[in-house]
Amino acid sequence: MTTDFKRRQITGRGIPVTGNDIDTDRIIPARFLKAVVFEGLGEHAFEDARKQNPEHPFNSPAYRGASVLVVGQNFGCGSSREHAPQALMRWGIRAIVGGSFGEIFAGNCVMLGMPCLRASQQDIEWLQREIGRSPQASITVDVEKQEVRLGDRVIKASMPDGPRNQLVNGTWDSTSVLLEAGAAIEATAGRLPYVKGF
Amino acid sequence: MARTLLDKVWEAHTVRTLPSGQTQLLIGLHLIHEVTTPQAFQMLKELKLKVRMPERTFGTLDHIIPTADQSRPYADPEAEEMAQHMYRNMKDFNLQLFDMSTGKQGIVHVIGPELGLTQPGMTIACGDSHTSTHGAVGAIAFGIGTTQVRDVLATQCLAMAKPKLRQVRVEGSLARGVYAKDVILWIINQLGVKGGVGYAYEYAGPVIERMTMEERLTVCNMSIEGGARCGYVNPDQTTIDYLRGKPYAPSGDAFERATRWWLGGVATEPGASFDDVKRIDGARIEPVVTWGINPEMSVGVSQSIPSPEAQPEAERPTFREALAHMGFQAGQPIKGAKIDVAFVGSCTNGRLSDLRIAAEIARKGKVAKHVRALIVPGSQQVAKAAEAEGLHEIFQAAGFQWRKAGCSMCLGMNDDKLRGREMSASSSNRNFIGRQGSPTGRTLLMSPAMVAAAAIAGEVADVREILR
């Protein structure tokens, strides 16, 4: 693994998307899944929400170039479509801080090297307010130390050990890691009654 | 110590513990469809990798296929391109595809159990969140993203952390007119759409034990809507009876040996402990209807839409957004809400028993003049069985359209979409904004019986009054 894969910390400007239970249909509507490649999804992130709400942060020039998305509870719930994190990543997002996440979504983010960290409701609200006040401010998401830094304030932000280790150590590109098990894969399968035959 | 099904299945499929601390988990059955796989196959080709266990991988076409005219090429060029990619990838990697010509095509979560591919004690993965459905037969089944599909294709494994386990017990018995769909909608109402995050759900208790397999499939299907990573029911005699004679289930003496393993080696042992136990009183459940923009926002059909002020402060903005999107007022009864579209189908409620219940109601009236009503069977086999019973004629005589198998209006990736702000009574699983194909469309989730009743009344109705 080259150091390029390590995601110890991400620094950039923030963008707040408020509200709870924002599902992956909202992040990328199903009609954009009718493509055999992920390229070009970035411009369609939150497409319908943006059309319906001109004030949507993804419409605002102030947040153009932001890379740290700050969201509420249960962000990314619903459909398993990887197109949702792909769209966010291709828009420019590199890390997400939120109250909580849909689990398939969070897992998909890890597969793309994009950490999702959980923070308290109070801290999320503070971060969103602060970013709204000064969109140019630099935020650091420290995956290794499990904290988010903005100005002189340090916020506790957590993520489960497994995916955090994958990101920090640069082993989130899991195919090569899983292939290392070699013949142990077939050996495990061979012990299963339904594989070897009843 | 007594062990749970989750403990046993997890241990049996553990290849090793990864340096990250996660488990390298073997996946016993990989189900694939046309929408979430083309990029995975492309990555596989770029990495010059083969499919590790092609005999454990099965595909179908469900999300994008039209349900009216299925002649090729499809009218929608994007759908045609996706289908062509699927055919090419299945051929290039030598994988079995259940397409229309096989008579076995259908929604991936309908055909897996129907063909007996889905069996107790398996780990199952599919690039679709409703993979949790397969837990009904006693499997641990995960919805995954496309890059994880690549992992399963290439290695037959996933890197995963074992979830905590919550037993959800549905006690007592259900009243007439209350179905499996109402049970799972009510569980989600009570435990919340975030309530299951970090957990697998084991559904148990007398109501679940008495359910048919098709009813259990409906319950497990919506585990993901409750935030749970997966959901399952322990295998029992109902499971055995369901699987006997299925084309991909073991047969003869092998079936008897399999039965002993499913009941003795897979099911949760008496006295096993759980990280959490929740109890739901089945007798208190009435037909449930969602009124908002996530599946937790629901009420019993006799109740009124709740007020944002009655919610915790952090939830109020989402509540207000839901009322605004739906065009509802707090305090308004859900019964009588006018509908434009009725949809019976999807991996939640597109099985034969669902169609039979809807037909029982359809027999009692005609679809209201202003309502467009669709019946979409979950698979070709479901369609065939329904037609053999004459259900299609009952539906057509009542003014419902009888369609071909597919995901259809559950997510509107084909031509079956809401238009504008249409209000849909739907037997599907998600009422998210824009879910049924129109960015401003509105969805009321309910049981197939309630959808049929709403189609006839032209508004949300109480199916218990029709059955009385």
Answer yes or no: is A75 within a domain. yes
Domains and CATH numbers, chain B: 5-160 (3.30.499.10), 164-284 (3.40.1060.10), 288-467 (3.30.499.10)
Answer yes or no: is A184 within a domain. no
Residues of A in contact with B317 (CB under 8 A): 18-20
Q: Global pTM?
A: 0.97
Asked if A189's CB is within 8 angstroms of B53's CB, the reply is yes
pLDDT tens digits, B255-297: 999 999 999 999 999 999 999 999 999 999 999 999 999 999 9
Asked if A36's CB is within 8 angstroms of B129's CB, the reply is no
Under 8 Å between Cβ of A116 and A124: no
Euclidean distance between CA atoms B444 and B297, whole angstroms: 10
Answer yes or no: is A180 within a domain. no
Answer yes or no: is A132 within a domain. yes
Helical packing angle, B352-362 and B448-457, nearest 10°: 30
Closest by Cα among A81, A70, A66 to A23: A81
Euclidean distance between CA atoms B11 and B14, whole angstroms: 5
Answer yes or no: is A160 within a domain. yes
Which parts of chain A have pLDDT scores under 70?
1-3
Q: What's the mean per-residue pLDDT of chain B? A: 97
Q: Which residue of B has its CA nearest to A104?
A: B144
Answer yes or no: is A196 within a domain. no
Facing residues of A101 across strands?
A75
Tokens of B288: 């449930």
Closest by Cα among B333, B387, B328 to B355: B387
Answer yes or no: is A17 within a domain. yes
pLDDT tens digits, B174-183: 999 999 999 9
CB atoms inside a 10 Å sphere around CB B50 = 11
Helices (H), B262-309: none
Rounded to the nearest angstrom, the minimum Cα separation between A65 and chain B is: 26
According to the model, what pLDDT value does residue B468 have?
81
CB atoms inside a 10 Å sphere around CB B312 = 7
Asked if B317's CB is within 8 angstroms of A18's CB, the reply is yes
Tokens of B362: 């359809």
Question: Which CATH number fits the domain that encloses residue A81?
Answer: 3.20.19.10
Under 8 Å between Cβ of B231 and B132: yes
According to the model, what pLDDT value does residue B74 have?
97
pLDDT tens digits, B28-68: 999 999 999 999 999 999 999 999 999 999 999 999 999 99
Share of chain B above pLDDT 90, in %: 99
How many separate domains does chain A show? 1
Tokens of B72: 């090729």
Residues of A in contact with B36 (CB under 8 A): 33, 80-82
Answer yes or no: is A118 within a domain. yes
Asked if A160's CB is within 8 angstroms of B161's CB, the reply is yes
What was the ipTM of the complex prediction?
0.96
Tokens of A157: 């932000």
Closest residue to B197, CB basis, from A80, A103, A166: A103
Q: Which domain holds residue A55?
A: 3-171
Q: Touching check for B263 and chain A: CB below 8 Å?
A: no
Q: E-strand spans in B256-399?
A: 276-281, 288-290, 298-300, 341-344, 372-375
pLDDT tens digits, A80-109: 999 999 999 999 999 999 999 999 999 999
